[in-house]
Structure 1
Amino acid sequence: MKRLFPIVAVAALAIAGGAYWMNAQQTSPVAGVTNIEPVSSDGADVDTSGIVEMVMGAEDAPITIVEYASFTCPHCATFHSEVLKPLKADYVDTGKVKFIFRDVYFDRFGLWASMVARCGGTEKFFGITDILMETQSEWSRAGDPVAIAGALRKTGRLAGLDDETLQACLEDEDKAKALVGWFQKNAAADNISSTPSLIIDGEMHSNMSYKDLKALLDGKLAN
C-alpha cells in the first residue's frame, strides 16, 4: 500500500518547479507545460468542472465502488490485475456494481500517465489503464523523464492515438492543473491517505483480496 504525503505536500510536489513538469528546456518530454501556479491545499481555487469521472457499470447498480489509485503505485497495479479484473467480470458487467476510478498523483510520472489514459476519452480510458497497469514496472522504470514520457506515448499509440494527439494531451497546462486540483478536492473530501483505497457505498476500506471483497459484496447483495 502506498501512503500519501499530506495534501499540502502533494500540491507542492505535483505543481511546484521541477517536481511537477521539467523546465522549459528543449529536452523536456512535455515542453510547454510550465509556470503553473500552485493550487491551494484543497484544490478549491481550481476549476475542475471539465474533469470527467471514469465509470464502469450500470448507473443504477445497487453497489457503488470508488477506487483511489495511482498509476505509479505497485499495489494499485496488483489490485488492478488480481482484484479489478474478476470484479469487473463478476459484478460490474453483470449490473451489480458501478465502479469509479479516481486518480491519485504521487509524482509527475503518475500525472503524465493519467493524462495519456484520459487522452482517448471515456471510451479508451480503461483500456489504456489496463495497459499502463500491466506494464507499470516497465514504463515507470524506463530511465530518465524523457524515456518515461516516450514509453507513455508508446502506450498511447498502442491504443490508437497518434503522436500529435498525445503531445497535445501531455502539453495541456489547464488540464494538468485541473487534474491536480480535482485529485486534491476528492482526497480531502474522502480523507484518502493511501492507495489503493476503496469507498464502498460511502464506507472506507483499505486494499483487500478479491476473496474478501467478494464476501463483502455478496453480503451487501443478500441484504
Structure 2
Amino acid sequence: MTRLVPALSAAALMMAGAFVFSDQPGRAPASFLVGAANAQEAAEVDTSTIAEMTMGAEDAPVTIVEYASYTCPHCADFEQGPFKKLKAEYIDTGKVRFIYREVYFDRYGLWASMIARCSGDTEKFFGISDLIFKTQRDWVRAGGPTEIVDELRKIGRLAGLENDTLEACLQDGTKAQTLVKWYQEHAEADKIDATPTFVINGEKVTNQPWEDLKALIEAEIAKQ
C-alpha cells in the first residue's frame, strides 16, 4: 500500500517545476505547507463547493467511502477488478451507497481529478475515472509534465469534453486549491494513511482481497 507524507500547497501542485517529488514513488501529501503570506487564503477556502461523487441508493444499508489516487497502482487494480464486482453485486442492487474521494499524491493526480470532474456530471465522472485508471500505466509514463497532461487531455476528449472546456478546467487555480483542501479535511477526519482505503459504515478498512471485503459488507448488511 501507499503511505502519505507531508504535502505541498495546491499552488505548488499546479506549478510545473515547483513540485518537489518524493524519492519514494507513490508517496502522498497529507497537509498544506503554506507560508505566512497565503495561510489566511488557504484557511478561507470553501470546500463545500466540491461535490461528493456517489453512486447507489441513498437508503442503502451500507455506505462505503473509497479514498484513492489516480496515480496509485493499487487503486487502479481495485478499480479494474474488485470494484466491478462491488458495483454489480452491491451498488447496482441497492445494498451499498458508494462515495469516491480523491487523494492527491502529486500534481498529476490532481490534474486527472480536475479532468474527471470537468463535466460536473457524476455519471461522466465515474466513466472518465474508469478511463484514467484503465490507461494509468500509459499516461503516468508518458514523460514530463507536458506529455502527461497531454495524455490526460486525450482521455478527456475521448470522454466527449471539448478542448476549451478542458483548458478552462485545468487552468482553474481556485478549484485546484479547493480540491486539495477538501481532500485534506476528509483525509484528516478519517485518518487516511494509505490508498486505497475504505470507510465502511464509519469503520476504516485497509485494502484487502475481494472475498474479505465482501465478507465485511455482508456482515454490515446482516446487522440491519
Structure 2: gaps of 5 or more residues: 19-32
Q: How many residues end up aligned between the 2 structures?
A: 203
Are the aligned partners of 1:56 and 1:98 in contact in 2 as well (CA < 8 Å)?
yes
Cα distance change on mapping 1:51 and 1:200 into 2, 3 Å = same
Distance between the aligned counterparts of 2:162 and 2:11, measured in 1? 29
Q: What are the Cα deviations for residues 93-144 of structure 1, in whole angstroms up to 9, with x where unaligned?
A: 0000000000000100000000000012223100000000111010111101
* Residues 2-151 of structure 1: pairs in structure 2 closer than 5 A: 2-5=2-5, 9-10=6-7, 12=8, 14-15=9-10, 17=12, 19-22=13-16, 38=34, 44-121=43-120, 122-151=122-151
Is 164-173 or 117-126 further displaced after alignment?
117-126
| SS of 1:199 mapped into structure 2 | strand
Moved segments of 4+, more than 6 Å: none
Cα distance change on mapping 1:16 and 1:170 into 2, 3 Å = closer
Are the aligned partners of 1:20 and 1:107 in contact in 2 as well (CA < 8 Å)?
no
Q: CA RMSD in A?
A: 1.8
Are the aligned partners of 2:11 and 2:173 in contact in 1 as well (CA < 8 Å)?
no
The structure, 1 or 2, with the larger RCO (C-alpha pairs under 8 Å, 6+ apart) is 1
| SS of 1:112 mapped into structure 2 | helix
| SS of 2:118 mapped into structure 1 | helix
Cα distance change on mapping 1:140 and 1:86 into 2, 3 Å = same
Which residue type is aligned with residue 20 of structure 1?
M
Which residue type is aligned with residue 133 of structure 2?
M
| SS of 2:81 mapped into structure 1 | helix
| SS of 1:52 mapped into structure 2 | coil
TM-score relative to the length of structure 2 = 0.86
Q: Could you tell me how far 1:82 is from its partner in structure 2?
A: 1.4
Structure 1: gaps of 5 or more residues: 25-36
Are the aligned partners of 2:116 and 2:125 in contact in 1 as well (CA < 8 Å)?
yes
Cα distance change on mapping 1:165 and 1:16 into 2, 3 Å = closer
Match of 1:32 in 2: none
| SS of 1:120 mapped into structure 2 | coil
Are the aligned partners of 1:76 and 1:195 in contact in 2 as well (CA < 8 Å)?
yes
Q: Could you tell me how far 1:197 is from its partner in structure 2?
A: 0.4
Which residue type is aligned with residue 93 of structure 1?
D
Distance between the aligned counterparts of 2:217 and 2:10, measured in 1? 38
Distance between the aligned counterparts of 2:140 and 2:76, measured in 1? 12
Q: Could you tell me how far 1:23 is from its partner in structure 2?
A: 6.4
Match of 2:184 in 1: 184
Match of 1:27 in 2: none
Q: What are the Cα deviations for residues 66-110 of structure 1, in whole angstroms up to 9, with x where unaligned?
A: 000000000000111111111000000000000000000010000
Are the aligned partners of 1:44 and 1:185 in contact in 2 as well (CA < 8 Å)?
no
Q: What are the Cα deviations for residues 141-187 of structure 1, in whole angstroms up to 9, with x where unaligned?
A: 11010000000000001100011000000000110000000001001
Are the aligned partners of 2:62 and 2:97 in contact in 1 as well (CA < 8 Å)?
yes
Distance between the aligned counterparts of 2:118 and 2:98, measured in 1? 20
Cα distance change on mapping 1:179 and 1:206 into 2, 3 Å = same
Match of 1:198 in 2: 198
Distance between the aligned counterparts of 1:15 and 1:217, measured in 2? 35
